[in-house]
Amino acid sequence: MVQAVHRAMRTLRELMGNPRGLGVTELADRLGMAKPTVHALLRTLEAEQAVSQDAESGKYRLGPVLVALGNSYLDSHELRNRAHTWANLLADRTGEAVWVGVLVDRQVLVVHHAFRPGGIARVREAGATLPWHATALGKAIAAFSQDDVRAGLLAGELAAPTGRTVTEAGELARQLDRVRETGHATEEHELTLGDAGIAAPVLDQGGRPLGAVGVVGPVERLCAVERAAELAISVRETARSVSFEFGAFSTVLR
């Protein structure tokens, strides 16, 4: 491991979790590093536009070059590219917004966002990272993950974006068992109050999850009994189609 690169990445991760910015002293305390070392790192990262310094507060934030790097990553992501058309078709079929996501550490990274047809909101969520346990996408992935991955996800710290977020490991484990039985995951009010999600895993030929695809929208629109059942069928069919793109066999798909 190259220590300088490791330190730079730790610095960027700290700034990622603090969008209002951090000063040199704050970063040094959080990283357990000497202030001169942190200052030198920041000056180097600033020269590469990976961070920027606020002229008034002196605090550092993530820089513009990371946007270009992130967009390049999304554009080249294999799941995004293979799921793109299917996700857009699902949005047209259901009249709802569709997300495609992958698990990165303990977060779900949204790699594609198909807007709700005719919808007013146009905030693109591609590139957003979300707590795995607060999203249907994350639950769909976790439910079909290997036992050690699932156990690690359940054992870690679980934040509560809302008062409705399930953070108790035992209850989450029971939810994941149900997801394996039904082939799809749901969430209501857990990521954002008033919103819901229904998602199904995208599997490879060995039955391992590559990611998930799902619909998102207001609870009252997604969670009426008959509507939810219809959406779940559509989501599972779309996930199955994308899985076939990756060579999954019918024996591992629902």
Q: Alpha-carbon distance 102 to 108, whole Å?
A: 5
The pLDDT of residue 251 is 47
In the chain the domains, ranked by start, together with CATH numbers, are 3-63 (1.10.10.10), 77-252 (3.30.450.40)
Q: Alpha-carbon distance 231 to 200, whole Å?
A: 11
61-75, 93-107, 219-233: range with lowest mean pLDDT: 61-75
DSSP lists the bridge partners of residue 108 as: 103, 130
pLDDT band at 208 (very low <50, low <70, confident <90, very high): very high
pLDDT band at 46 (very low <50, low <70, confident <90, very high): confident
Digit-coded pLDDT (tens) for 73-123: 665 678 888 999 999 999 999 999 999 999 988 889 999 999 988 766 566
Distance from chain centroid for Cα 114: 15
Q: How much is the average pLDDT of 1-8? A: 79
Assess whether pLDDT exceeds 50 at residue 15.
yes
Contact 201, 144 (CB under 8 A): yes
Q: How much is the average pLDDT of 59-73? A: 73
pTM, two decimal places = 0.77
DSSP lists the bridge partners of residue 213 as: 100, 200
Q: Alpha-carbon distance 220 to 238, whole Å?
A: 23
The pLDDT of residue 122 is 60
Q: How much is the average pLDDT of 9-19? A: 80
The pLDDT of residue 8 is 82
Assess whether pLDDT exceeds 60 at residue 125.
yes
Q: Alpha-carbon distance 45 to 52, whole Å?
A: 8
pLDDT band at 147 (very low <50, low <70, confident <90, very high): very high
Q: How much is the average pLDDT of 179-189? A: 97
Q: Give the chain's mean pLDDT.
A: 88
The pLDDT of residue 6 is 82
If DSSP codes are grouped into helix, strand and coil, which group holds residue 52?
strand
pLDDT band at 232 (very low <50, low <70, confident <90, very high): very high
89-120 per-residue burial string, b: 16 or more CB within 10 A, e: under 16 = ebbebbebbbbbbbbeebbbbbbbbbbbeeee
